[in-house]
Amino acid sequence: MKALVYNGPGKKAVEERPMPRVALSTDAVVKISKTTICGTDLHILKGDVPSCVPGRVLGHEGVGIITELGQGVTGFRIGDHVLISCISSCGKCDYCRRGMYSHCTTGGWILGNSIDGTQAEYVRIPHADTSLYKIQAGANEEALVMLSDILPTGFECGVLNGKVQPGSTVAIVGSGPIGLAALLTAQFYSPAEIVMIDLDDNRLAMARQFGATTTINSRDGNAAATVMKLTGGRGVDTVIEAVGIPATFELCGEIVAPGGTIANVGVHGTKVSLHLERLWDRNVTITTRLVDTVSTPMLLRTTQSGKIDPALLVTHRFKLAGILEAYDTFSAAADTKALKVIIEA
């Protein structure tokens, strides 16, 4: 089968690979219908993710059809149409029993990282019973690919951790796919204001379409002052960090209200400064989280009932054979205006 293979920093290729097979009784093999590329895949290609070694098939998102099943899988049948979670969860370990699937001792984020992933014609899924979700007939596959990772990530790491509430104020720093996923799902809780902050006017225009009540281009360095003015000097109740660099994290600390929460979603490569000399007495909460995908069943229900439309995040479409072009398009988002690219396998 064809697969997108990571061959060391800066190197990737579409290669012919053997078909994956069930290895453990709890595995399934899924024929991929649609997959996508994540910002994390770009991190791997920069050589920033040591757990991902050369030779690995990338990708941790996708929908498809089950073609092979281990004997221990009880919840699925061959032919079932399924959503693949980016997080594999055994359902048995202490972390899984506490709902913290991200830290499953034999799972977590392993697809396209420590085992072969979804940017291929077929993929082996460990712990299938607790890592796949059935899709209703006729569902929009493109919308559902967004539920493998970015919707639960924006929702759990940003909205839930950030404790968004009816009538509250929210700022989201970073209007990329994850920031927009947080924006879409923050509206489940009817906050009064959602301020979106980014450097790219195109992405801010998207944010307004997605429900942001105010947008701020932070290029001029006045974003914090603007937010404080908007909120009468109080700051916002929830700040969601969806970029992952020191400057954006520090901005969060400048605009959080007393009693507020900073929910970090961004993947950080270096340490950041935390201004405790100013924040120690402000009663703030700062959270970090690798998505657990505990909210996937709820997100499936709300997507299928039309409450949210994650397909809005899809800007470009490619065939698996053209995945290198898909990577180019996704990497050059400032020019191509790409958010999420769909790859049909």
Q: Which residues bind its own copies (CB under 8 A)?
A: 25-26, 71-72, 74-75, 91-92, 94-100, 102-103, 109, 129-130, 165-167, 187-190, 192, 244, 249, 258-259, 264, 266-277, 279-290, 292, 294, 297-299, 301-302, 305, 307
Q: How far apart are CA 60 and CA 123, in angstroms?
A: 10
Residue 261's φ and ψ, nearest 5 degrees, are -130, 135
Of 9 and 258, the one with the shorter C-beta distance to its own copies is 258
Of 74 and 202, the one with the shorter C-beta distance to its own copies is 74
Least Å from the CB of residue 275 to its own copies: 5
In what helix (H) or strand (E) does residue 331 lie, and over which residues does it extend? helix 323-331
Longest dimension (CA), the chain: 61
Of 29 and 184, the one with the shorter C-beta distance to its own copies is 184
Least Å from the CB of residue 74 to its own copies: 7
Residue 129's φ and ψ, nearest 5 degrees, are -60, -30
Q: How many CB atoms lie within 10 A of CB 76?
A: 18
Of 307 and 317, the one with the shorter C-beta distance to its own copies is 307
Of 205 and 267, the one with the shorter C-beta distance to its own copies is 267
Two tokens, residue 319: 């065939």
Q: How far apart are CA 250 and CA 275, in angstroms?
A: 8
Least Å from the CB of residue 283 to its own copies: 5
Of 4 and 115, the one with the shorter C-beta distance to its own copies is 115
Of 2 and 103, the one with the shorter C-beta distance to its own copies is 103
Two tokens, residue 235: 């700051």
Q: How far apart are CA 161 and CA 261, in angstroms?
A: 8
Q: How far apart are CA 239 and CA 264, in angstroms?
A: 8
Q: How far apart are CA 303 and CA 145, in angstroms?
A: 11
Least Å from the CB of residue 45 to its own copies: 18
Least Å from the CB of residue 158 to its own copies: 13
Q: Which residues lie closer than 8 Å to 27 by C-beta, 6 or more apart?
A: 69, 70, 73, 124, 125, 126, 127, 128
Least Å from the CB of residue 192 to its own copies: 5
Two tokens, residue 126: 């460990």
Amino acid identity of 104?
C
Least Å from the CB of residue 286 to its own copies: 4
